Amino acid sequence: MQTSDILMLLGGLALFLYGMQMMSGGLEAAAGNKMKDILEKLTSGKIRGVLVGAGITAVIQSSSATTVMVVGFVSAGLMSLNQAVGVIMGANIGTTITGQLIALDVSALAPLITFAGVVLTVFFKSEKAQHIGSIIAGLGVLFIGMDMMSSAMEPLRDSPTFVSLVSNFDNPVIGILVGAGFTAIIQSSSASVGILQALAMSGVIGLPQAVYVLFGQNIGTCITAVLASIGTKTEAKRTTIIHLMFNIIGTIIFTIICMATPFAVFMESLTPGNVAAQIANVHTVFNITTTLILLPFAGVLANIATKILPDKEEEIESGYEVLHLYPIDGRAFHQVGLLSVILKGIENEVARMYKLVEENIVDAFDCIIKGKADTYEDIEKREDYIDYLNEEVSKYIAKIAALEMEEEDAAMIGSYYKILGDIERVGDHAMNFAEYARNIEELDEDLTAQAIEDIEKMRAMILESLRGLKIGQERDCIEILKETAQLEQRIDDFTEVMRKNQLERMRAGQYPLQVGLLFSGMITDFERIGDHALNIAEEYNVIA
């Protein structure tokens, strides 16, 4: 093999990988959000999970990306471990579509395909046309790279050393280890299968040697999910264990079949003379058959994963901790669909924080109305937790905001940051109410019946406004914004009534000046809570 052949091989590999990236990026940009929405709303049906996992992976051309999304959703509490099993199995089926595309003998048309894609990308302003162009151009570049690699590896047929090395792939253990190791390095089973096809097309390796490498490639692709699960909760780590178990069990089954039966010969007979199609077909049969065998035992796989990785005491929800934030770094952030996982994790933490704020508002109003700050310590403890969550989630958002992303995604991240601030300030107002109640109690004074009546009316409006935001629930953001704006105006109007009533009580000498000043502060807090609720509704409208 001459230097020119090595350079051609490297160039072909570069074009192949770049073509895959272009095609995957174009597909994800064109349909990724829809695919993520489908995955996010997945129900518990195992068969439906398989179909959804296969469909999403076929579209975005990456089982690793789908599995990373699943790990993220499990980590964020949006999907159970049992739901994840079916999706992972489906992802393994969906990833075989790349090999089937490569098996199509269209290398002569590859330059034309690439040209058509570039024309769409460069000369059309429509975003959709550019995405489609990226898909088509990526496919063309992929085929050009395949053809270059295949041509560059043809001299290897005459190399006794390389032929001797490849002949060792007949040994199942060596073949599986080579396939797993290479795929783990490049983190893409689709790409490694494509390279195996190129090697086979050059005549260096036949199907009997390639099958074991192919089985190992299915194991090696699990490395991406393993890396994605680092730093996540135990439940998410179990997802990667299931992914590994699926491919290891499948490899054991098919290795036994290949050693005990003429399976490779049979697969060769289906598409004689087309070794690329033979490899693609084995890849498809491997994943479909393994899914059919293991799908009825999805619950068993989940239980085994739970026994391998049991719950840890520190993961029980107690004390101050964030539960749903997905750990990120600059590399992982660009995984397909990961931003959706990140945003859902933030939304869940915002919902936890909001729940604590709502509890404090309810208890603080009770303190004022009863004239006794008997739950003050509980309110104070929750306020500390609210401050903790605000700080941790804000730091997390700041870390994300520093990364490169689409303008629309950046706006969503910014809106969550603003929502956090408004919720935290509502919590501060609840703490102020508790302080007012304690101060009035220390003064040994009672609010008048009319003042209590006004506070109860205000309490109803504030709780209606806060609960109407439906944080952490399905919501019609436009309708909620409209209703919150109306409530905010009602709160503003009623604060004027309260101020007027308070002035009359003070003139009548119904309570001391100190109590009057505390009540004035209370009215200001009422008004500001309405403002913060409206701010939150406006930002959720941006996110929607």
Question: 245, 280, 310 — which closes off a domain?
Answer: 310
What SS3 class is residue 316? coil
Are 289 and 361 within one domain?
no
To the question of pTM greater than 0.85 for the whole model, the response is no
d(CA 57, CA 54): 5
Residue 63 and residue 92 in contact, taking contact as beta carbons nearer than 8 Å: yes
Are 210 and 343 within one domain?
no
d(CA 534, CA 403): 29
Question: 276, 310, 344 — which closes off a domain?
Answer: 310
Structural domain contains residue 326: no
Structural domain contains residue 324: no
| Burial letters 74-112, b for 16+ CB under 10 A, else e | bbbebbebbbbbbbbbbbbbbbbbbbebbbeebeeebee
What is the Cα 82 distance to its own chain's centre? 17
Structural domain contains residue 434: yes
d(CA 411, CA 532): 19
Per-residue pLDDT of the chain (544 residues; tens, 9 = 90+): 578 777 887 887 788 778 777 776 676 666 555 555 665 565 556 788 888 888 877 766 667 777 777 777 777 666 777 888 888 888 888 888 877 877 776 666 778 888 888 888 888 888 778 888 888 888 788 778 777 876 776 776 666 766 676 667 778 888 898 888 888 887 677 778 888 888 888 777 888 888 998 999 888 888 877 776 776 677 778 888 998 999 999 999 999 999 999 999 999 999 888 888 898 899 999 999 999 999 888 889 889 988 988 866 544 444 578 877 877 765 455 555 567 778 888 888 999 999 999 999 999 999 999 888 889 999 999 999 999 999 999 999 998 888 777 788 888 899 999 999 999 999 999 999 999 999 888 888 888 888 899 999 999 999 999 999 988 787 788 999 999 999 999 999 999 999 998 888 888 887 778 888 888 899 999 999 999 999 999 999 888 7
* Residues ≥6 apart with Cβ < 8 Å to 150: 12, 198, 199, 201, 202
Single out the residue of 137, 138, 168, 165 nearest to residue 153, CA to CA. 165
d(CA 237, CA 84): 12
Question: 310, 345, 378 — which closes off a domain?
Answer: 310
Are 291 and 353 within one domain?
no
Are 358 and 232 within one domain?
no
Structural domain contains residue 318: no
Residue reference for tokens 């699943």: 70
Are 507 and 538 within one domain?
yes
Structural domain contains residue 252: yes
d(CA 353, CA 375): 19
Residue 458 and residue 491 in contact, taking contact as beta carbons nearer than 8 Å: yes
Structural domain contains residue 320: no
Q: Phi/psi of residue 412, each to 5°?
A: -65, -45
Are 200 and 340 within one domain?
no
Are 104 and 224 within one domain?
yes
Structural domain contains residue 322: no
Angle at 246 between CA 243 and CA 247, to 5 degrees: 90
Structural domain contains residue 151: yes
Are 269 and 369 within one domain?
no
**Residues 198, 201, 204, 207, CA torsion sign:** positive
Are 260 and 392 within one domain?
no
Residue 12 and residue 145 in contact, taking contact as beta carbons nearer than 8 Å: yes
Are 273 and 374 within one domain?
no
For the packed helices 189-201 and 207-220, what is the interaxial angle rounded to 10 degrees? Answer: 170
Q: Which CATH number belongs to the domain containing residue 430 in this structure?
A: 1.20.58.220
Total domain count for the chain? 2
Are 403 and 302 within one domain?
no
Domain span holding position 122: 3-310
Are 257 and 168 within one domain?
yes
